[in-house]
Structure 1
Amino acid sequence: MDSQTGTHDDNMKPATKKSLRGFAAMDPQRQREIASLGGRAAHQSGHAHEFTSEEARAAGKKRHARAQATGESPRA
């Protein structure tokens, strides 16, 4: 809308409102409960991986080296 005249600008599209469905529509507490169950199941089945401090350190070094080479922030 044009703030001066109160008319719609032809170049602007109306904002579409998406309705949340499924997991996104759930209460955040319920989402955490479901995610927690999935994490526990992964650990029980042996599919979850927990990094050792050495693995985490090596991964961090690789990430920082790659970020310095490309000039980006390591947190990106």
Structure 2
Amino acid sequence: MANNKGNNNGKMSVEEAGRKGGEMTAKSHGEEFYEDIGKKGGEATSRNHDSDFYEEIGRKGGEARNNQRNFD
């Protein structure tokens, strides 16, 4: 509990518990598991949205990245 930062009377913080839980989940599931759930999510999203949706999020992402480059 080194990342506790001296609070919560020696108890694990919510952030630390979440990080540890995520690490354990990643260890118990392989790369294929995450590829599979990503594929399923992408398929479900594509059934619910048309090409205009993807064009809009692509445009927004491109603008955000361009703005980032201008500040770097």
Question: What's the TM-score bracket when you normalise by the shorter of the two chains?
Answer: 0.3 to 0.5
Larger radius of gyration: 1
Q: State the TM-score, normalizing by the size of structure 2.
A: 0.42
| Structure number having the greater helix percentage | 2
Q: Which has the higher contact order (CA 8 A, sep 6+)?
A: 2
Q: State the TM-score, normalizing by the size of structure 1.
A: 0.41
